[in-house]
Amino acid sequence: MDNKQRIVVIGAGMAGGRIVEEILKRDSSSFDISIIGAEACATYDRIQLSPVLAGEKSFDDIVTHSDAWYDANGVKTHFGYWVQSIDRVAKQVVLHDGQAIGYDHLILATGSDPIRLPLPGSDLQGVVAFRDLHDVDLMTRAANAGGEAVVIGGGLLGLEAAYGLAKRGMKSTVIHLVDVLMERQLDEAAGRLLEKALLERGVISVLSAQSEAIVGETHVEGLKLKDGRVIPASLLVMAVGIRPHVEPAKSAGLTVERGIVVDDQMRTSDPSIFAVGECVQHRGACYGLVAPIWDMCRTLADVLTGKNPDAAYYGSELATRLKVSGVDLYSAGQFNGGEGCEDIVFRDPGRGVYKRVVVKDNKLVGTVLFGEAADGAWYFDLIKKGETIADIRDTLIFGQAVTEALAGVDPNAAVAAWPDDTEVCGCNGVTKGTVVEAICGGADNLDKVRGCTKASASCGSCTGIVEQLLKVTLGDAFKAQTGPKPMCKCTEHGHQHVRKAIIEQGLKTIPDVMQAMKWTTPDGCSSCRPALNYYLLCAWPREYQDDPRSRFVNERNHANIQKDGTYSVVPRMWGGVTSAKELRAIADVCDKFDVPMVKVTGGQRLDLFGIKKADLPAVWADLNAAGMVSGHAYAKALRTVKTCVGSEWCRFGTQDSTGLGIKLEQDTWGSWMPHKFKMAVSGCPRNCAEATIKDFGIVCVDSGYELHVGGNAGIHLRGTDLLCKVATEAEARDYSMAFVQLYREDAWYLERTAPWIERVGLEFVKTQLFDEETRADLKARFLESQAVFQVDPWAEHAPKSEPAKVFSPLADLREGTSQDHITETA
Amino acid sequence: MNANVTLNWPSLNWIDVGAAIDVPYQGARRVDTDLGAIAVFRTVDNEYYAVMDKCPHKGGPLSEGIVHGRHIACPLHNWSFSLQTGEAVGADAGKGCTPTVPLKIENERIFLGMR
């Protein structure tokens, strides 16, 4: 028998998992640890449920302590069990199946329960909270059925729920009692910006609205407000707050007020029983965020293991970050000011940026950042330190980089001076010491550090700090992954910089660019040359001479190379429409050149596979003779415009989608772009042409045309963003050309519209396209380049091709082959 | 994969395969042989090289790739090879090698060293 002390943890959530880990980290041999969890699964990061709901992460991504982890660390798990009672006299916990587990120290990590409003109808089917995996599962299934979702509660959790549901395709509305979203974390100005940003992501906010009743027979059908409005809903999420889960503590006779009352060492009214996390009430405060959990767990682990018997917890400063893709929002401390507080505010409505720092007695006490939140951790650190900011006050609002550069401070020096126990990653409770240790142990880049320490692997807000630590620890050996990434190994300049230099310095050939920008290779590489060729072509359509040697094989040979080295050819069929004559020409080509396979492509065109390179010119000549031009099915250019039949034949069609598709294709074909580009026109919201996963999609409706942008059905599926609605075909065409040109001029080579829009923001695209003059300029520049580039490469090549020279071998030395051929080319 | 594989002809027989000028600058031409196609390259510095026209990865026709420096990027999956040694370079270094073929230029004609 060993005489290990027995620790029992009730609750296997974030606090339960963390306390076990903190104890083991300090002392892995003196304790027998058991953990009891009501959810029948491992410990996961509950704050990451929002990305799971939004489909941006999977459950496996958010597991922090798996069954295997507990096994490997010798921790006994009782998952799927709940606690019947705590017998403080016998010092044992009785589970619902009657088994008793004895303890020397008991730790309550029972967390909290979602608050359910006592509204009539709250027991209807389809009414859920947003708290655990089960809820996420219910919500996901409801979203898959489509329909409308109403979320009560415009706080952090409610907004993340609403965004997740919108992202899964539901019409999503948030009902909030107050007139500002997230009023406990945001001031009014930031609240308004958030409202707008959410609307762009499909979440409607109804503010100052009081819920009266949930309506429906057996299943929820809507939410009735006090003012009489009824908002239809097939799913209703209550996200109005949480309440510490205190039942087991209460029935065991511990002191409980709002939460389980603990002292500065996390001890309850029974000296053998401790509590950590959201179930706790410490110095009158209950916390619903993650940072305090880590603080509490560290303190308790220090006390229990005797590492520091005098450790104490004095409460936590709080910072909040919203986990909605593309919405950068951060708030910390006393952001709303108050007596003796001064505000410093920065606004740039054009970019949707708003920053506010609150200063009191020359100390930073709070901040709200919207649109640009990268400096959140820096401000938060200043708040926690409480040192005077008098000498950086004038630049404080511009953030860390500017402030420290102007003060002549090496931004890395500050990080280097941090003590080892400074917490770097709040989500995963990783200290500077742990990160530095990992870096010294061989983790020499961000991904590796993430892999072995989990630092910066959750919300990512500490990425900058981890990178600074890499820099400080590795010195020159660390290639900064911050700042613009170089185009390739031939240069230190990023895409943006190169594009700018081409225009500003009037660089007009690839060697010019390489010379001016100090390329380190004689003629670049297969990654930068095609990019430079494109950038020059886009910048100087009339002057630049295209360089086929810097083009990928498909564009050089005007056909699509296949895995066996043969090619496929796709004749253009405008809007997907063809004729007997064209089909006959295609059939003849297939017979004549033994084409082994003809396939309808995803873009409604016919693809002729297995054509030998030497036959290409003859194939093109035949197709050209039937009036068909290159499909560009191989090119970084407009590929196809997919259409449905629209009003011409379909009983639902609202507009002539086929006709419009043909016009769009005729407008834009031949235009070189940063990457492939696809369009579609659907004749009604049934969206048969799948316009909402295209780079540019149009959904026709009775009153006109909805224009959608930035969709992608590639490796990462992305639905389009709604750009705007226009009334006429002419406007739709204008917008499509202006959008294409904006993409051509702004995106990086090989960046499709989806990641481009995520990078620059939909707001940028809108600002450019909604300005009438800018839109007209973009269109004019597009037409100018089309005047040069709208040429059919097949027609250009087919008649004047000299097959022996370009598409045939230099020589044929095979047995029985005449050597005369060689001398002919001399 | 062996480093620096050169086709092991018993005795070299130099064969005229065409005019040097017929290989495009920073480009390639193919020569068909009973052993498979050979790709003849001309680099940015006007140097000529010949390697077997088959990427050791998935058999891609190297003659259709982008010539950069003394390297060729395969058109199928963008592996890069040294034209001098035939070996994979960069991220895929050490993973494969395409045999090189002896080549010389005389009187502005290309000769491949064959059997």
CA distances from A338 to A110, A315, A342, A358, A380 (A): 35, 21, 8, 9, 18
A198-202, A366-370, A424-428, A520-524: the lowest-pLDDT one = A424-428
Residue B81 has pLDDT above 80, yes or no: yes
CB atoms within 10 A of CB B4: 12
pLDDT at position A72 over 80: yes
pLDDT at position A207, please?
A: 94
Our CA angle for A589, A591, A593, nearest 5°, is 65
The Cα A73–Cα A68 span in angstroms is 8
Report how far residue A339's alpha carbon sits from residue A360's, in angstroms, rounded to the nearest whole number.
9
**pLDDT band per the 50, 70, 90 thresholds, residue A460:** low
CB contact under 8 A, A809 and B30: yes
CB B42 within 8 A of CB B26: yes
More confident residue, A23 or A825: A23
Partners of B19 on chain A (C-beta within 8 Å) are 825-826
Region B30-58 average pLDDT = 94
Q: Nearest residue of A to residue B26 by CA position?
A: A549
Model confidence pLDDT, tens digit, residues A333-371: 877 667 788 888 888 877 778 888 999 888 998 888 888
Contacts of B32 in chain A (CB under 8 A): 809, 811-814, 817
First-to-final CA distance of chain B? 24
Structure tokens at A724: 């705007």
What whole-number distance in Å separates Cα of residue A149 and Cα of residue A151?
A: 7
Tokens of A617: 């010119």
A826:B37 CB<8 A: no
By Cβ distance, the residue of A550, A565, A825 closest to B61 is A565
What is the residue type of A630? S
Cβ-Cβ contacts under 8 Å, A826 against chain B: 18-19, 109
- Which residues are registered as beta bridge partners of B71? B68, B82
pLDDT confidence band for A798 (50 / 70 / 90): low
Residue A414 C-alpha from the chain's centroid: 30
pLDDT number for residue A482: 43
Contacts of residue A57, Cβ cutoff 8 Å, sequence gap at least 6: A48, A51
B68 vs A529, A565, A813: nearest CB: A529
User: Band of the pLDDT at A477, cuts 50, 70, 90?
Assistant: low
Backbone angles phi, psi at A300, to 5 degrees: -65, -40
Q: What is the dihedral of CA A187, A188, A190, A196, to 10 degrees?
A: 150
Contact B16 A564 (CB under 8 A): no
pLDDT value of position A821: 39
Cα–Cα distance, A499 to A745 (Å, whole number): 9
CB contact under 8 A, A565 and B44: no
If pLDDT is split at 50, 70 and 90, which confidence band does A61 have? confident
- A-to-B residue pairs, Cβ atoms closer than 8 angstroms: 94
Instruction: Express each pLDDT in A727-765 by its tens digit.
Output: 999 999 999 999 999 999 999 999 999 999 988 899 999
Q: A523 contacts in B (CB within 8 Å)?
A: 26, 44, 68-69
Residue in chain A nearest B29 by alpha carbon:
A810
In the predicted structure, residue A481 carries a pLDDT above the cut 50? no
* Probe site for chain A from B64, B71, B72 (most A CB atoms < 10 A): B64
DSSP string covering A196-247, please?
HHHHHTTEEEE-S--EEEEEESSBEEEEEETTS-EEE-SEEEE-S-EEE--H
What residues of B are in contact with residue A527 (Cβ under 8 Å)? 78
Query: CB atoms < 10 A from the CB of A201, how many?
Result: 18
Closest CA to A36 of A86, A90, A89, A88: A86
> Could you give the CA distance from residue A88 to residue A95 in angstroms, rounded to a whole number?
14
C-beta contacts of A416-422 below 8 A and 24+ residues apart = A416/A472
What pLDDT was estimated at residue A817?
56
Distance from CA of B2 to the nearest CA of A (A): 24
Looking at the predicted structure, is the pLDDT value of residue A313 above 70?
Answer: yes
> A43, A12 in Cβ contact below 8 A?
yes
| Best CA proximity match to A555, nearest among A417, A649, A440, A673 | A673
What is the per-residue burial (b if ≥16 Cβ within 10 Å, else e) of A277-293? Answer: bbbbbbeeebbbebbbb
Separation in Å, CA of A803 to nearest CA in chain B: 12
Do the chains contact at B66 and A552, CB–CB below 8 Å?
yes
Q: What is the pTM of this model?
A: 0.53
Residue of B nearest to A806 (CA): B29
Mutate to test the interface with A, among B16, B22, B66 (most CBs of A within 10 A): B66
- The Cα of A549 is separated from the nearest Cα of chain B by a number of Å equal to 6
Question: Among all residues of chain B, which has the CA nearest to that of A566?
Answer: B61
User: Distance, in angstroms, between B104 CA and closest chain A CA?
Assistant: 16
Residue A78: pLDDT over 90: yes
Given this model, what pLDDT does residue B91 score?
74
Q: Is the dihedral of CA A37, A240, A267, A45 positive or negative?
A: positive
Q: Do B34 and A553 touch (CB under 8 A)?
A: no
The first and second tokens of residue A287, run together, are 């916390």
Q: Which of A8, A165, A195 is nearest to A83 (CA)?
A: A8
Cα–Cα distances in angstroms (integers) from residue A551 to residues A343, A537, A566, B91, in the given order: 55, 12, 18, 21
Interface touch B19/A811, C-beta < 8 Å: no
What is d(CA A463, CA A42) in angstroms, rounded to the nearest whole number? 27
Cβ–Cβ gap A553/B17 under 8 Å: no
Q: With bands split at pLDDT 50, 70 and 90, how would you rate the model's confidence at B1?
A: very low
**Shortest CB distance from A822 goes to which of B16, B61, B78?**
B16
Tell me whether residues A814 and B34 touch, CB distance under 8 A.
yes
* Kind of pairing between the strands at A567-569 and A105-108: unpaired
Give the per-residue SS3 of B18-71. Answer: EEHHHCCCCEEEEEECCCCCEEEEECCCCCEEEEECCCCCCCCCHHHCEEECCE
Residues of A with CB under 8 A from a CB of B: 521-527, 529-530, 549-553, 556-557, 561, 563-565, 805, 809-815, 817, 822, 825-826
pLDDT score, position A478:
67
d(CA A25, CA A64): 15
**Rounded to an integer, what distance in angstroms lies between the CA atom of residue A644 and that of residue A662?**
11
Q: Which residue has the higher pLDDT, A558 or A428?
A: A558
Residue A798 or residue A450, greater confidence: A450
How many angstroms separate the Cα of A49 from the Cα of each of A45, A128, A134, B106? 7, 15, 11, 71
Give Dmax (Cα) for chain A: 106
Q: For residues A381-398, give the mean pLDDT.
A: 86
Amino acid at A530: P
Q: In what order do the strands lie in the sheet with B80-82?
A: B66-68, B71-73, B80-82, B88-89
pLDDT level of residue A290 (50, 70, 90 thresholds): confident
Quick one: average pLDDT of A265-272?
Answer: 95
DSSP designation for A712: B
Helix (H/G/I), strand (E/B), else coil: A476 = helix
Q: To the nearest whole angstrom, how far is the Cα of B48 from the nearest Cα of chain A?
A: 14
Q: Is B73 helix (H, G, I), strand (E, B) or coil?
A: strand
Interface touch A524/B68, C-beta < 8 Å: yes
Are A563 and B22 within 8 A, CB to CB? Answer: no
Nearest residue of A to residue B16, measured between CA atoms: A822
CB-CB contact of B61 with B32 (8 Å): no
Residue in A447, A458, A519 with CA at minimum distance from that of residue B69: A519
Mean pLDDT for chain A overall: 88
Place of tokens 């708003």: A354
* Among the partner residues A521, A552, A811, nearest to B18 by beta-carbon distance: A811
**Mean pLDDT confidence for A410-417:** 71
* Residue-wise pLDDT tens digits, A31-54: 999 999 988 777 888 878 888 888
First to last CA, chain A: 94
